[in-house]
Structure 1
């Protein structure tokens, strides 16, 4: 056995790095390991690079919307290789920067495959290590698909590293990945199709706003196929043929690329959790509310690898990592606070949610007032020539507090943060209306939405 640690963190994403630095600051001997470059999905293969690419799509879309109103969009195109080079200008520097921060804080860094060999033991590429505690923060990985030719698909990591963008792309799955990437690719000139096996994509979001987004998606030239199952993907001389079944009617789509956007699962399969007596399920490592394993007290879990009530979001992973670290340091059982955490689908325009959906609020026994507003003709929307925008605010009539806020519109991902803060602090609509915002800003619309 080579060494003994106070804590070994598995996964050098945002949750793992936050916990490792926090515990090292207390003088602990901390190790962290990852098979992939340090930084995790968000910084390297997800949120951050995606939004850099989206900026190019935003500019193209903005020019299209303003065409004929003082802007001439003729000749404006998106140079995909140049945009990808800009993305790499950010992502290429992340791993070294993250590792330097860790080592500077006294954390021992490892690169390799980790798997448990006992209650307090693991190996990293065959070398044994012992630790008093472990934090599993290994994130998530694309869900395994079982149709014929599933191996022909690329995942989100592959899409975000494409040197050239094919002319035709099929996205399988009706969630974040498919919609966000299709909105980027379509503005870059690709012919995009989203295939969803259900009747309503983006099921975590308000159904009325989702329908508005789908209409806007189709206006952008993206086909959305619902109630459609992929039965096979076959390589052809020109690319791929995607065989589909739509409520009993079969067909096929010829395309240059097929992208996996059908969900992710906790990345635990190769860790040999059974060797350490760590229980897990489809949603991740089984943990108590304070993030400690229900079956091995030496183990904690955070982020997408943990079965917690939190959404699979980077900010959630970060505060779970910090809470887990604090509980390990202090021997406490503090639970993360998931109140008022917003989430966004970064399409163009973007779809946002914080708090409860209508049916959830009613199901929880609240007497509610629902304020739905079509904001497509409001000044803030008119200014940027967007055609689709709306808001739905769910208010508890007894307390006057906001239970849920659902926004679709340009830059509404900024406005949703105010609603998130209001829900977290229990502010009433009367208190929100009493605030005076700078004008004309998107934030100045808030009072009128209530």
Structure 2
């Protein structure tokens, strides 16, 4: 080293610091790159992404290579800095070189390149892989030897270094990703994606049309009365039953009703109505919507009756009802009640039918009544009150004032819901 000039040593030291910064930035960039974006780019034919993805398949080898290179460079830089320091400051040069080199490496070879790499991981990782890939082949024996020792040490403490962790997301993590997508995903699409994630939490009981609201006809009624109801029916599907709804026969479709009512050769009779009825598809109560959507698709069905463990009919669910949970309300409904169950008043309160579904009500008027028990507003009021209420009376549920307006046949028909009063800000 005595034959090498000090200026040359400064140049070598400068180059070594640059190389150290490259290794530091490469480590952060390779480890910070978005794996999902990386896979997408690789599948799109990006060669750099494929190269980085291949190297990340064995992170132990990649980290081993980078650390070997970084430590070799830093040790060499330390040795050269010591020589320069001793030439310039004699015996005090070691302390000066140690202090100065620590600051230089910390600023220019650690913090700065790692910060840049963390902010722009793809810009750093992709070009870095061009150099790291051949270096991996050149230093493979050394990397393999180091990994052999470290991997065995890790196994002693119960860690399998070759078991690469799978980059999978839970539903809640995916929900966070969708929320943080911001302008990358339109807000309407975000709502749809979040609704799909909620399908597992929601069951058919939450969206079904209650049995009392199913458009239905008793086949044992007078034939003229039945035909009159069919001619005035506004629903696409009508349920036929005998005496009580639990003895259901099948569904009459609007096309079948029109064909029966417009026949020229003969008047429709009850037998023809029964023959025209389509088979019923039954759905067990408590079925998650995600499961039911697949069942509708597999069985080529669009409508079904929800039954309990005793086979009693609890309500009706259509494919449209299920899809509305994802995309929002359609302009038309099939077989159920029209969306006129909530009317906003001038004073800010809402007139609500007692049969309204709580989840629909919460969405429509932006409130948060509990939905983990009864599914309708009537059921919630009876459960909270502990009895069938009488009008007029008022009660408070989840902070919302509820005024009973009408009760008929042991059922709350209509109520007035008042929003929570706004809290005054403390001055």
Q: Which TM-score band applies after superposition, normalised by the shorter structure?
A: under 0.3
Tell which structure's C-alpha radius of gyration is larger. Answer: 2
Determine which structure has greater relative contact order: mean sequence separation of CA pairs < 8 Å that are 6+ residues apart, divided by chain length.
1
Higher helix share: 2
TM-score between the two structures when normalised by the length of structure 1: 0.20
